[in-house]
Chain A
């Protein structure tokens, strides 16, 4: 009798709590290669589209200048730091600019979201480079970045 009551009491306890489940719960561990591949592949796509909106030849007053970050000849760890610095640079200098042509760089758009998610799994915080560093136009910055992302993609593909 007591066993039955105890079992029923457990049933009461269990039935009163909501079920919490996860499908592949999110962790901060490095994701599988195929998610790196997806994020980097999507970044390539978004950069190609973004570059089209910023042609090389623009009136001087329309040029946006960003730090000339070292983007080639990097090893894996250095490239991870670079992508973190790129996200910061774009967020600070481009994401908040007024105008439809900068919509692609808003933090809720896919380019910045893919970059953000990649950095979440690799390098979340990074030291910003000196502001006195040389600057280059946004078009050149994006082209250099595209080459670097393609390089990273080829290494996970």
Chain B
């Protein structure tokens, strides 16, 4: 009997060393507050995604919506990922998830909708203005369903980050989604320099705690001013964060 007990202990130790026992941190879910809920499973000890799935129950009014989310390997992130389509989200509704490997229950986890909203990534656009500045606009990627602006969209915030391409110092600006545009003043930038711009979005439904994935990068370039009497003026480059006191007429070009 004692040797059987030793055997059990030995097998348990082997399993602890080799078996996959996920923790709550390994399972992450996000919703875009439109139609999609995405979950990912990450662990160094997770050998294969196959056989792993998430049973999800979602109480709606007095009914239960049920979903099965089957994990597959994402080759970019190396995580196991799955997603489901939901018919609209409501801030305080709950998603109860059960992580299974085959029929073996590994983990239970409950999510409240507003707490795990991760907005869609914005799509940026930069246009030069008549006065030589750079007007940044963005598409928040949400369908408005006949509303010009709804409560959720009004609570979105965009965080713009721009800096010299290849440089180390960036400038960040956060503006409400509803302003729809932001102007970068050219005279505050270095002339004849390539800049890159990215952005993320967040929602006040969860106090902006989960930013979206970063947007695709947009590039724009400033040029040296061209004078009528001679070649372009050669000046000491101005640091980007020090506003210039001189009137400069920078010619700029946007590269997309």
Q: Which residues from chain A sit less than 8 Å from chain B, CB to CB?
A: 5, 8-9, 11-12, 15, 18-26, 31, 34-35, 37-39, 41-42, 44-45, 48-49, 52, 107-110, 112-114, 116-117, 120-121
Whether the Cβ atoms of A11 and B108 lie closer than 8 Å is no
CA distance A45 to B155 in the complex (A): 13
Q: Does B45 lie at the interface of the complex (its beta carbon under 8 Å from any beta carbon of A)?
A: no
**Nearest chain B CB to A80 CB, angstrom units:** 16
With A18-B105, A19-B108, A44-B151 known to touch, is A107 a contact of B62 (CB < 8 Å)? Answer: yes
Whether the Cβ atoms of A19 and B63 lie closer than 8 Å is no
List B80-126 residues whose CB lies under 8 Å from chain A. Answer: 87-88, 90-94, 105-112, 114-116
Interface residue count on the B side (C-beta < 8 Å): 44
CA distance A113 to B65 in the complex (A): 13
Which residue on chain A has the smallest CB distance to residue B149? Answer: A45
The B interface, classified by DSSP as helix, strand, loop or mixed, is mixed
Whether the Cβ atoms of B207 and A34 lie closer than 8 Å is yes
CA distance A109 to B63 in the complex (A): 12
Whether the Cβ atoms of A38 and B24 lie closer than 8 Å is no
The A interface, classified by DSSP as helix, strand, loop or mixed, is helix
- Of the candidates B63, B90, B106, B115, which one forms a contact with A24 in the assembled complex, judged by CB atoms under 8 Å apart? B115
CA distance A9 to B9 in the complex (A): 7
Whether the Cβ atoms of A19 and B12 lie closer than 8 Å is no
**Nearest chain A CB to B216 CB, angstrom units:** 29
30 contacts between A and B (CB under 8 A): A12-B9, A12-B12, A18-B105, A18-B108, A19-B22, A19-B107, A22-B109, A23-B111, A23-B116, A26-B112, A37-B151, A38-B114, A39-B91, A39-B92, A41-B150, A41-B152, A41-B154, A42-B90, A42-B91, A42-B150, A108-B65, A108-B87, A110-B88, A112-B61, A113-B93, A116-B61, A117-B91, A117-B93, A120-B92, A121-B92
